[in-house]
């Protein structure tokens, strides 16, 4: 059972979200990316709040584009759940809530760079026709995945165009 409520993130959540990522990714400085995402337009930011309203999880979906595609495009990430609350369905609830909201607005293709064993449960599958914004290290090839929702038709081939906040080769390298 998910002991957390999913809601849209608000500016008052920013410090708690930053603290969440510092804990979940101690080796990486995701703060610049997060600040850009939380301040920018075209980003769906969802938080999971516990009974005490504490933020225990977060996910972002960023509007992107694929030239020639009739479906919208969105990039899932980053995603984190507080250490002591992991494994209770909170990450899944965040992802599913975001996918539901995106699909409700019409055809959309959602992309993610992440562990296929985690994302396959939502229907994500390896994406070969639409390339990531920057070349990925060979060992990450299977981590580039997509999911078509809301009646999205066949995908054209091409490359995912991302807004400036994601347009940094360092975010796509090992
Ligand atoms: C990955 C993460 C967001 C999942 O959230 P969660 O609330 O713990 O996940 P859920 O409870 O919805 O799902 C639990 C499942 O995810 C799996 N899982 C957890 N972390 C995982 C990871 N880093 N990679 C792959 N699978 C993972 C668990 O083994 C479990 O699998 P099962 O259902 O087959 O038993 C969370 O564990 C986390 O924040 N980890 C640290 C940050 C991170 O690695 N983020 C990158 C996501 S690709």
Torsion of CA 170, 165, 34, 79, to 10 degrees: -70
| d(C-alpha 97, C-alpha 122), whole Å | 11
pLDDT in tens, 52-111: 899 999 999 999 999 999 999 999 999 999 999 999 999 999 999 999 999 999 999 999
Q: What residue ranges do the domains of the chain occupy? A: 5-172
Whether pLDDT at 158 is above 90: yes
The pTM (predicted TM-score) of the whole model is 0.95
Question: Domain 5-172's class?
Answer: alpha beta
Mean pLDDT of the chain: 95
Token readout for 112 is 């993610």
Contact between residue 51 and residue 88 where contact means Cβ atoms under 8 Å apart? no
| Average of per-residue pLDDT across 161-166 | 97
| d(C-alpha 133, C-alpha 79), whole Å | 19
| d(C-alpha 75, C-alpha 44), whole Å | 10
Instruction: Please work out whether the CB of residue 88 comes within 6 Å of at least one atom of ligand 1.
Output: yes
Q: Which numbered atom of ligand 1 lies nearest the CA of 93?
A: 12
| Of 19, 81, 142, best ligand 1 pocket probe by most atoms within 8 Å of the beta carbon | 81
């Amino acid at each position: 059972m998910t002991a957390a409520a999913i809601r849209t993130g608000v500016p008052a959540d920013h410090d708690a979200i930053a603290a969440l990522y510092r804990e979940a990714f101690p080796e990486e400085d995701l703060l610049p990316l997060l600040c850009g995402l939380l301040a920018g337009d075209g980003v769906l930011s969802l938080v999971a709040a516990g009974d005490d309203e504490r933020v225990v999880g977060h996910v972002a979906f960023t509007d992107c584009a694929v030239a020639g595609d009739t479906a919208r495009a969105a990039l899932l990430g980053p995603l984190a759940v507080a250490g002591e609350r992991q494994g209770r369905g909170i990450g899944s609830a965040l992802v599913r809530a975001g996918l539901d909201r995106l699909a409700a607005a019409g055809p959309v293709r959602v992309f993610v760079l992440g562990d296929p064993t985690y994302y396959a449960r939502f229907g994500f599958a390896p994406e070969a026709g639409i390339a990531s914004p920057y070349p990925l290290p060979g060992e990450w090839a299977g981590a580039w995945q997509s999911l078509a929702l809301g009646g999205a038709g066949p995908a054209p081939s091409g490359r995912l165009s991302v807004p400036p906040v994601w347009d940094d080769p360092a975010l796509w390298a090992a």
